[in-house]
Amino acid sequence: MRCLSLANTNSQSVDRGLSFIAWLGVLLILGLPLLGLIPIFMVGLQAKAWQLLWSDPQFLPALKLTLFSAGISTLWSLILACALVFLFYPSKTWQRLQQQLPIFLAIPHAAFAIGLVFLLAPSGWLVRLVSPLFAWTAPPTWLTTTQDPYALSLSLALTLKETWFLLWVMTGLISQEWLVKQSLIAKSLGYSAWQAGWQILFPQVLKSLAWPLLAVFAYGLSVVDMALILGPSTPPSLAVLAWQWFADPDPIQQLKAQVLALVLVGLLVLGAGGAYLAYKFLTALWSKPSGRRQRTSVIRFLSPWFSYLLTLPFWLSLGLLLLWSLADSWFFPQIVPSRLGFATWQQAELEPLLMTLWIATCSVLISLPLALLWLEWGKQRQAYLYLPLIIPALPFTAAQYQLALLLKLEGSLSAVIWSHLAWVLPYILLVLTGAYQRLDTRYLLTAKTLGYNTWQACLYIKWPLLLRPIMAAAAVGFAVSVAQYLPTAFIGGGRIETVTTEAVSLSSGGNRATLAVQAVLQALLPLFAFMTATSLSRWYARQHPGLN
């Protein structure tokens, strides 16, 4: 009896200790910068700052552009991701898409944007491909395919990229038993998979998609690197404007940048509110289905092309990045380079690559255990953990920078890793939470009944069972760290060079071959992480048959 109560207090103190670590970690990573945001947001109280912003001629058109590109890309990526699921799940095409999914997810936004420019620009590969037909010796002047004034190319790039993010989120959702059963019943009642998908599954998964969709919208609002590469410049999007103003030594521009950061947050709240109303409206609309079975022959006829339409841009972009990195000289209208060589690769600096590898590895090694501790011993549902995914990256990074300055840590590797954690940790949590909550609690209960304390039950039962999502989360965290530009540039004081900062600073330099090399490296690193994660979990599954 005494023995039992002793073990009990012991395990309680272990629990308390672990809970303390989880809270401390989260506070250090997310709490501190959030506090640092307060002075930035205090600016919103100054009427003068709002007047300044309002009187800037770029503000209103940029606002329209930003709302358009972020809104339309969120909407379309939702529609396209759902369409992919309803058309192809489960089929051979679905499996093929699933095999390609990690690759598309892993390609950083900047690298994909650069590849798309190589593909779509007026002097890009597509125009080169058709130029012999029209006898073009120079790119046509009437063509505006990238950096168009309506931000269509930016929206397209965001849509393509985020479709795969949402598809990945949905992959986790649709394999749930009750959804599979429901669609089976619908099919047995004569509904096509397409109609059942939109009328039965869609309203139900939409709720679980709320957070990912908000993250997609927030990303669209605050993206800087992609907007610089593909977006218009007269005016640029709001995030680019804020970025330029933050970098301006003029205090007036600084003020405008801070208010603009607030505006971005306001837009997000507005967007979320609008989406919620739309959701309510749609569910009300769908609550009385007509019961008509739609014919889907046209959709079935088009569907094979549809999947290629979404995968081809990625493969072509990647191929062009590779080709450009090997091109020795390549002028318009040549379809392939006149000479190939490894000269650019030989001159490429490898230090940024190693630095990126190191920062990303450290970020994951800190975030992953912390995320697991948090899910078990912290509080599982805490919306503010996801704030960094939703607050535009600029003010958040500015707050981090102020803190680093105070602690005299700016320019140090540890501070850069710390700044990355603010994005890596939430993304890892985002990936893990669903799988974590879905796991049958009876496993843990049984383990505890048989004498394990919570720590042991997690270590020997729960975490091994969750190995696949844990590895996936690690890979996502790695990819997120690799793609970080703003925190690396700000907190690193320019002293810490990663493949991403290299690629962005080279993108203002214009040598496509060198740019392509850095973009290829930027894409390869996360790819490598996803491959490692997959093969590790496969290996583990082989060692432990019966696990899935």
Partner 1 sequence: MHFRNLSLVSLVLVSSFSLTAQAAEDWAKIEQAAKGQTVYFNAWGGGENINQYIDWAAEQAQQRYAITVKHVKITDAAEVVKRIQTEQQAGRTSDGSVDLIWVNGENFSTLKRGQLLYGPWAEQLPNWVNVDTKKPVQQDFSESTDGLEAPWGTAQLTFIADRNKLATPPDSATALLKFAQENPGRVTYPKPPSFHGTTFLKQLLLDLSTDSAALSKPVDTEQFTKLTQPLWAYLDELHKVAWQQGKSFPASDAEMHQKLADGELLISLSFNPNEAASLVAAKRLPESAYSFGFKKGTIGNVHFLAIPFNAKAKEAAQVFANFLLSPEAQAHKADLKVWGDPSVLLANKLPQQAANPSVLPADVPTLAEPHASWVEALEKEWIKRYGS
* 376 is a site residue for partner 1 (CB under 8 A): no
**Which part of the chain contacts partner 1 (CB under 8 A), choosing from 27-35, 78-86, 326-334, 384-392?**
326-334
Cα-Cα-Cα-Cα torsion 413, 414, 416, 420, nearest 10 degrees, comes to 140
Per CB under 8 A, the segment of 106-114, 374-382, 387-395, 502-510 that binds partner 1 is 502-510
What's the rounded Cα separation, in Å, for the pair 75 and 156? 12
Site residues (CB under 8 A) for partner 1, limited to 513-532:
514
Q: What ranges in 378-412 are assigned the alpha helix state H?
A: 387-390, 393-406
Confirm or reject binding of residue 346 to partner 1 (CB under 8 A): no
* Minimum CB–partner distance for residue 128 and partner 1 (Å): 10
Site for partner 1 (CB under 8 A): which residue of 347, 441, 446, 535?
347
369: closest CA among 381, 378, 357, 382?
378
- Which of 100, 296, 361, 505 touches partner 1 (CB under 8 A)? 505
Residue 47 three-state SS:
helix
CA 239 to chain centre: 17
Distance CA 174, CA 202 (A): 10
Q: Is 299 in the site for partner 1 (CB under 8 A)?
A: no
Place of tokens 């939703």: 390
Least distance in angstroms from the C-beta of 220 to partner 1: 20
| Binding range to partner 1, per CB under 8 A, among 107-115, 323-331, 464-472, 473-481 | 323-331
Smallest gap from Cβ 56 to partner 1, in A, equals 8
Beta bridge partners of 547: 545
> Contacts with partner 1 in 401-430 (CB under 8 A)?
401-402, 405-406, 408, 410-411
Interaction between residue 501 and partner 1 (CB under 8 A):
yes
Contacts of 301 (CB under 8 A, 6+ apart): none
Residue 61 binds partner 1 (CB under 8 A): yes
* Tokens of residue 96, six digits: 């093929």
Long-range contacts of range 291-298, CB-CB < 8 Å, 24 or more positions apart? 293/190, 293/191, 293/192, 293/195, 294/192, 294/194, 294/195, 295/192, 296/192, 296/194, 296/195
5, 9, 234, 297: which one binds partner 1 (CB under 8 A)? 234
Among 19, 98, 100, 144, binds partner 1 (CB under 8 A): 144
Which among 28-36, 430-438, 453-461, 511-519 is the span making contact with partner 1, rule CB under 8 A?
511-519
C-alpha to C-alpha distance for 227 and 240, rounded to whole angstroms: 7
- Residues with Cβ within 8 Å of residue 345, at least 6 apart in sequence: 325, 326, 517
How many residues touch partner 1 (CB under 8 A)? 53
In the shown chain, the binding pattern of residues 239 to 268 toward partner 1, with x for contact by CB under 8 A and - for none, equals -------xxxx-------------------
Q: Pick the binder of partner 1 from 502, 503, 520, 529 (CB under 8 A).
A: 502
Stretches 32-40, 233-241, 415-423, 531-539: which one binds partner 1 (CB under 8 A)? 233-241
Minimum Å gap between C-beta 403 and partner 1 is: 11
d(CA 439, CA 433): 10
Q: Are 397 and 486 in contact (CB under 8 A)?
A: yes
| 328 sits in which H/E element | strand 327-329
- Cα-trace Rg, the chain: 25
Instruction: For residue 5, state whether it binds partner 1 (rule: CB under 8 A).
Output: no
Residue 62 interacts with partner 1 (CB under 8 A)? yes
- Concatenated DSSP letters of 164-212: HHHHHHHHHHHTSHHHHHHHHHHHHTT--HHHHIIIIIHHHHHHHTHHH
Looking at the Cβ atoms of 137 and 287, the one nearer to partner 1 is: 137
User: Is residue 199 a contact point for partner 1 (CB under 8 A)?
Assistant: no
Which C-beta is closer to partner 1: that of 90 or that of 149? 149
The stretch among 11-19, 156-164, 228-236, 525-533 that binds partner 1 (CB under 8 A) is 228-236
* Min dist. Cβ of residue 405 to partner 1 (A): 5
Rule CB under 8 A: choose which of 17, 90, 149, 289 binds partner 1.
149
Q: If residue 329 lies in a helix (H) or strand (E), which one and from where to where?
A: strand 327-329
Site residues for partner 1 per CB under 8 A: 57-58, 60-62, 122-123, 137-139, 141-142, 144, 147-149, 228, 232-235, 246-249, 328-329, 331-333, 347, 401-402, 405-406, 408, 410-411, 493-495, 497, 501-502, 504-506, 508-512, 514
